[in-house]
Amino acid sequence: MGIPYLWPFVRDKGYEAPLLSRFPQDPLPSNAFYRVDILASFFSVIRRAYSNHDSSTANTIVAQHLTSCGFLQASAVLYVDGPSPEEKRRTRDFRDMKRADALAKAEASINDMENIFRSGGRLRKPHFRKLAKHLNASFVWSMDSRRALAQFLQGLGWSVVECVSEADIAIASDCGAHDVVITGDSDSLVYFYSSIETIWRPLGRGRYLVYDMPTVLRHLEISRTALTVLGVVCRNDYSSNISRLGVSTNFKIILSLEKDVTFTDPSTMIGAYLTHKDVACKYPKQDQFDAALKIFVRQEFTTNPAPSPQELNYNAAQGITQRLKDLRLKLESNKK
């Protein structure tokens, strides 16, 4: 999720994120909150819960996980993603294609396993691992499941924001100076008009890497404007990067721009980036980064309430999971 390779790039530039091994007991300052992007923080928990259980049981599993993490209802605000914005269509279509391919492979795998069982053959662990891999890759968290979880958590007393679109956009808009953002999405590093100063990146087992934004900027030796521009011109969910210009190369270009001019407006800096000799020679489109600028700088987006095509195939994945459960029951019965 987010901007590929940005987390490791920050580390490689010398920022050693402190490890938080357990949730702190000290309260936040008054009127400060933990703003939690549920999907970006606990994707594996969500996928495991909703892939293997009915909605009611899955909701309970996620709620128990939140409690086990140490969050307190009084100081946590939970954000649940809505539909992807129109600006994310390219990424959404690509992911839908990958999910559809994985679902087709899962269908072929379960058919093969059922045929082996019927013919009296032996099913081995690699058969199950292969199917699990394809099912994991085909997982989509449906809008109905998201709404059901939000309502369930609200009923338990949690403060939940059902986002119109991406949770990280809503968090960037809502965040106060003393809030802590909890997310695995590197997009949160690059929002411009935002008060995000502290990000906790989940590692699992209740551990977090802590990113203090002022310290990150000092290690990178760039301004907040430049970091936003780096996120915009690198490959992200909204705009593609210019061919062969990845995070490291783009960082060098942006660093060279800041040596000559102090930029306070990301759009102006993007204009300078497009005319840089290492960029202009590739004849970039002048509007190539408009979608990413709209999201990361203005935090504006075009709503897209229609479900993605792959979400409509959610029941197909559930059907394969049920067939796997039935097959396991038959295998257990044959052992008796």
Q: What is the 3-state secondary structure (H, E, C) of the chain?
A: CCCCCHHHHHHHCCCCCCEECCCCCCCCCCCCCEEEEHHHHCHHHHHHHHHHCCHHHHHHHHHHHHHHCCCCCCCEEEEECCCCCHHHHHHHHHHHHHHHHHHHHHHHHHHHHHHHHHCCCCCCHHHHHHHHHHHHHHCCCCHHHHHHHHHHHHHCCCEEEECCCCHHHHHHHHCCCCCEEECCCHHHHCCCCCCCCEEEEEEECCEEEEEEHHHHHHHHCCCHHHHHHHHHHCCCCCCCCCCCCCHHHHHHHHHHHHHHCCCCCHHHHHHHHHHCHHHHCCCCCCCCCHHHHHHHCCCCCCCCCCCCHHHHHHHHHHHHHHHHHHHHHHHHHHHC
Q: Is residue 237 part of a domain?
A: yes
Q: Is residue 81 part of a domain?
A: no
Distance CA 94, CA 91 (A): 5
Q: Is residue 251 part of a domain?
A: yes
Please say whether the beta carbons of 250 and 234 come within 8 A: yes
Distance CA 282, CA 277 (A): 9
Residue numbers of the chain with a pLDDT score lower than 50: none
277 and 233, same structural domain? yes
328 and 273, same structural domain? no
pLDDT at 174: 97
277 and 322, same structural domain? no
Q: Is residue 213 part of a domain?
A: no
Q: Which amino acid belongs to residue 15?
A: Y
pLDDT at 205: 86
294 and 233, same structural domain? yes
Q: Which residues contact 113 (CB under 8 A, 6 or more apart)?
A: 123, 127, 128, 131, 324, 327
Q: Is residue 258 part of a domain?
A: yes
Q: Is residue 205 part of a domain?
A: no
Q: Is residue 41 part of a domain?
A: no
227 and 257, same structural domain? yes
Total tally of structural domains belonging to the chain? 2
319 and 294, same structural domain? no
Using alpha carbons, list the distances in angstroms from residue 252 to 203, 220, 227: 29, 11, 12
319 and 252, same structural domain? no
253 and 235, same structural domain? yes
101 is in which domain, residue-wise?
96-139+309-334
294 and 320, same structural domain? no
232 and 272, same structural domain? yes
pLDDT at 307: 67
Q: Is residue 170 part of a domain?
A: no
